Amino acid sequence: MIHALNKRILQYGVTMQAIPSNPARDVVLPRNTQKAKRQKVKHFENQELKKFLAYLDNLDSDRYRYYYETTLYKFLLATGCRINEALALSWSDIDLDNAVVHVTKTLNRDLEINSPKSKASYRDIDIDQATVSMLKQYKLRQTKEAWKIGQRESVVFSDFIHEYPSSSRLKKRLQTHFKRADVPNIGFHGFRHTHASLLLNSGIPYKELQYRLGHSTLSMTMDIYSHLSKENAKKSSIILRNCTKSTIGGANLKINISRQSKNPIAKIQ
């Protein structure tokens, strides 16, 4: 605000020919990036997560639209993938036998496949057996639905209309579900932040979280999430106890960290 005022005053001096130029126009103010990132971190608190998961489990799974959306939301919560990374996935990118998701591409606004955001975004994400089971059941259901309209699908989250679905259209549906579930609108990226928050509460090292989320630098991970671990430090034991009572796919949610592995494993049991 002060800089803007000074800039206007000096510009007036230029107009009145009192000074030859406005030096304030060349000043680049440092951004408070950490504060900006903190303001963007929307995630579910434990009770909100349980409430949303219960809402999803009560949707009519016979309606494929609901089944599709529920699977997508739970997949994002279980993996921490960015929405356009998830929408770009083909079944060949998911190794169900070894419980690994290979992230090698992303979807752009024109619904075209692009390379990931950075080198770090190329990664393998370990998934638990409950998520594997969910995906196997979903794949069978997707195949049946595709056969009804004479299609064969290789894209994991295809909507049968376009080769790849639009995240903006899916976002509108997500907002509707948030409203009906009476939980905060955290957006698709909020699932990613919720995933990170659960892992931090379970004691995952920042370096492992960095790899799992595909961040380029450790400082990026810490800038975004360090305040979450501080805020939750006093209540971590309560949150973890309650987290085991949450459900994804009708099962208890437990976060187990494999410290022997390069990747942390978000166990959804």
Higher-pLDDT residue of 123 and 29 is 123
pLDDT at 209 over 50: yes
Q: What is the pTM of this model?
A: 0.74
How do residues 54-87 score in pLDDT, each as one tens digit? 999 999 999 999 999 999 999 999 999 999 999 9
How do residues 97-115 score in pLDDT, each as one tens digit? 999 999 999 999 889 999 9
| The pLDDT of residue 126 | 94
For 122, the token pair is 């190329």
pLDDT at 246 over 80: no
- Across-strand partners of 113? 107
Domain definitions of the chain by residue range? 2-30, 37-252
pLDDT at 266 over 80: no
pLDDT at 33 over 70: no
Residue 147 sits at φ, ψ, to 5 deg, of -60, -35
Burial of 162 (0-12, 13-18, 19+ CB in 10 A): exposed
Q: Which CATH architecture has domain 37-252?
A: Orthogonal Bundle (1.10)
Cβ atoms 88, 210 nearer than 8 A? no
pLDDT bin (cut points 50, 70, 90) of residue 262 is: very low
| The pLDDT of residue 10 | 67
Instruction: Return the minimum-mean-pLDDT range out of 10-14, 34-38, 80-84, 122-126.
Output: 34-38
* Cα 161 versus chain centre, distance: 24
For 50, the token pair is 């349980």
